[in-house]
Structure 1
Amino acid sequence: MPSEHPSVDVRGPRFAAWVTSAVLAVALLLGAGWLVAAQAVVFAIGAFAGMRRAPYAVAFRVLFAPRLRPGREREPEAPLRFAQLVGLVFALTGAAGYLLGVPVLGAVATGLALVAALLNAATGFCLGCELHLLLRRALPARTA
């Protein structure tokens, strides 16, 4: 029976953040809007299809998780999906900047996404997840 509140192994999002950091760093160094656009697709899959279907999560689950001890620590999926949505907004803005001839916009948006991904990769602190929690506290709960 599927859980009402899915959760993921915390190591998966950290792995994804390292891959995202590498992709965004290369894109920033090359000014490659197409690469930022490709990362936007990855973010979109995570945000809309869920973390189990996100490409970097699949890579972690298939290539690395079987070689590791079972993860004991889990985190809820909802904040991670929101973080993917935030990443998507920055990646779309970055890709649009590069591809539409506004490289400063492309570099700033891509750089901000890179900083957030590196922070998550290096420390486990997810800015998008924290924003999700702040918004949940700030917005009144919906009643059924």
Structure 2
Amino acid sequence: MVDPRGLRFAATIAAVVLAVALVTASPWVLLAQLAVFTVGAAAGLRYAPYALVFRRLIRPRLGPPAHTEAPGPPRFAQGVGAVFAAVGVAGFLFGLPVLGYVATAFALAAAFLNAAFEFCLGCHLYLFIRTITTRGARA
């Protein structure tokens, strides 16, 4: 189970990094965020760099969370972020800046929604996909 405050903290940092990548059109800044997303998706949220910062520096100063969340949906969201970041990096590196800007903007929008409103777009996509595949399996 994961602390939703940590997820929001990570989304805030990701939004800032993605905004910098978008404004500067830097594939290298975006590549760094891609690495963060990839670690979170592949190794799990426990090992994601922003989660480590939250767990070591911020959470000890806070009380216990009011509730926790299952790690599956946010981990899936990290994977979705990684896909958009990878497309953005490819766009910037291979001379398709519009693709880079659009993919980075989509990732930024999703991170901003989570950071500002605690609305995880990737988590909702995960739950929607699970609903569809579960219903399809029963039919």
Q: TM-score band (shorter)?
A: over 0.9
Q: Does 2:134 match 1:140?
A: yes
- d(CA) in 1 for partners of 2:51, 2:75: 12
Aligned to 1:4: none
The counterpart of 2:47, out of the listed 53, 56, 67, is 53
- Alignment correspondent of 2:88: 94
AA at the equivalent of 1:61: R
Instruction: Name the structure with the higher strand share.
Output: 1
Which of 56, 62, 81 is residue 56 of structure 2 equivalent to? 62
- Using the TM superposition, name which of 123-132 and 67-76 deviates more: 67-76
- Tell me which moved more, 81-90 or 67-76: 67-76
What percent of counterpart residues are identical? 54
Say whether 1:126 aligns with 2:103: no
**Where does structure 1 lack aligned partners over 5 or more consecutive residues?**
1-6
Instruction: Give the aligned partner of residue 35 of structure 2.
Output: 41
2:67 is matched by which residue type in structure 1? E
Q: CA deviation at 1:70?
A: 1.4
Q: Distance in 2 between matches of 1:122 and 1:72?
A: 19
Q: How many angstroms apart in 2 are the aligned matches of 1:58 and 1:64?
A: 10
Q: Quick one: distance in 1 between partners of 2:67 and 2:92?
A: 39
Q: Deviation at 1:73?
A: 1.4
Q: Deviations over 1:34-74 (max 9, x none)?
A: 11111111001000100000000000001100111111211
CA distance in 2, matches of 1:16, 1:68: 16
TM-score w.r.t. the length of structure 1 is 0.92
Superposed CA offset, 1:75-127 (max 9, x none) = 11000110000000000000110111111100000000000000000010000
Q: Supply the distance in 1 between the matched residues of 2:55 and 2:66 (Cα, whole angstroms).
A: 15
Instruction: With the length of structure 2 as denominator, give the TM-score of the two structures.
Output: 0.95
- Asked if the contact 1:34–1:99 (Cα under 8 Å) also holds between the matched residues in 2, the reply is no
Counterpart of 1:3? Answer: none
Q: In structure 1, how many angstroms separate the alpha carbons of the residues matched to 2:94 and 2:119?
A: 32
Distance in 1 (CA, whole Å) between partners of 2:67 and 2:30 is 31
Count of aligned pairs: 137
